[in-house]
Copies of this chain bind each other. A is one copy, B any other.
């Protein structure tokens, strides 16, 4: 018996455990100080009332012989697939419900989708980046080419004709940088993918923060149906980080050598997955009801206002940053030429604020720092005040 030796090539991910250790040791030494955490990308607002009601109702249903639901369709119930299709149509994107695959979240699907592709495919991944893109490809032994995202391209790298790749990861609004591609930029990526025969894996997990006519979905771009798969999630949209529901869109047109990628994905999911809990799918459907939409919009406004408050302070301080406007993330250049971890330490010790060192997201993240807008309002205002004072 041999293990998959690609696993041994994975770097141990010390980022969040190192942060936790440093914070724990600081608070142990200074129990009188209040440390404010703007580090982890987890939401803090509770589920909205419409969702809670739907979850409770479905729970009760499951306790009755008439309302009980056993195995459901692996790809999700029609009531939810249709609700998602309707949501897409509000952005001018027409999808058929059977192009939408309900899942337990974008992280699972972003990892599992790789089952469909040959291990010899070459992968293009921006740097800095959500570490899952990198690790899942290392596990499969794929060759990875990194694409530099940096201050000179506003952390929005564009296609390079000299680079050949089969799979391309794009995330907009971006984690960790908060940068957002516009229509023309995404059009250039779609054209490049169509020209080279590559598939774009588009991570739209933060689409709910987009505004001012910027694209929510890659499928707003002409031609994308022939070259892209989109991953989306209710984690940030509706606070589902602990409730687990997302969806992946594989358009009918997407084929490789005559084989439909949608049919391969369906085969993968029906073989290795048994669908999202009925109760959770009812809760998810409530997110798309008029009442649910209104209620989650309140939570999103809360986080957006946090981001605006944070951005205002950084702007006033003259700090260079991306994100904040259409994203819950603010990605700032560390002051005084500090490294990511040096700034982390200073911020923790002098301002008692925890963020995430950019170096944890890749080589190009060095010298940068991520703050999130998912905190409580009071704590967020206080943290920014301390950062301002620190200068």
Contact = CB atoms under 8 A, between A and B. Distances in A.
Interface of A: 1-5, 7-8, 10, 40, 42-49, 51-52, 55-56, 59-60, 62-65, 67-72, 104-105, 107-108, 111-112, 115-121, 132, 135-136, 139, 166-167, 197-199, 239, 241-244, 256-257, 259, 261, 264, 267-268, 271-280, 283
Contact of A1 (B42, B197, B276): B197
B62 A139 contact: no
A272 B56 contact: no
A47 B70 contact: no
**Which 9 pairs of residues, A with B, have the shortest CB-CB distance?**
A111-B272, A52-B63, A55-B59, A2-B118, A1-B166, A42-B70, A69-B242, A46-B68, A70-B241
Contacts of A271: 111, 132, 135-136, 139
Most buried by B among A44, A51, A68, A267: A68
A28 to B, nearest CB: 22
B68 A62 contact: no
A359 B3 CA distance: 33
B243 A62 contact: yes
Contacts of A135: 271
A231 B198 CA distance: 37
A280 B278 contact: no
A3 to B, nearest CB: 5
A116 B4 contact: yes
B277 A277 contact: yes
A115 B60 contact: no
Nearest to A120: B2
B242 A71 contact: yes
A246 B112 CA distance: 19
Contacts of A116: 3-4, 7
A121 B259 CA distance: 28
B71 A241 contact: yes
Contacts of A4: 115-119, 264
Contacts of A198: 1
B46 A64 contact: yes
Given A111-B271, A132-B271, A244-B276, 5 more contacts: A5-B118, A46-B63, A47-B59, A111-B272, A244-B277
13 contacts: A2-B117, A2-B166, A4-B116, A4-B117, A45-B65, A47-B59, A47-B68, A56-B56, A104-B273, A105-B274, A107-B274, A136-B271, A279-B279
Contact of A3 (B46, B48, B117, B277): B117
Nearest to A74: B107
B43 A70 contact: yes
Contacts of A60: 52, 56
Contact of A121 (B1, B68, B278): B1
Contacts of A69: 242
A10 B242 contact: no
Contacts of A278: 242-243
A48 B59 CA distance: 11
Contacts of A259: 3, 7-8
Contacts of A121: 1-2
Contacts of A197: 1
Nearest to A196: B1
A10 B267 contact: yes
B2 A256 contact: yes
Nearest to A257: B3
A244 B5 contact: no
B5 A242 contact: no
Nearest to A51: B63
A275 B107 CA distance: 10
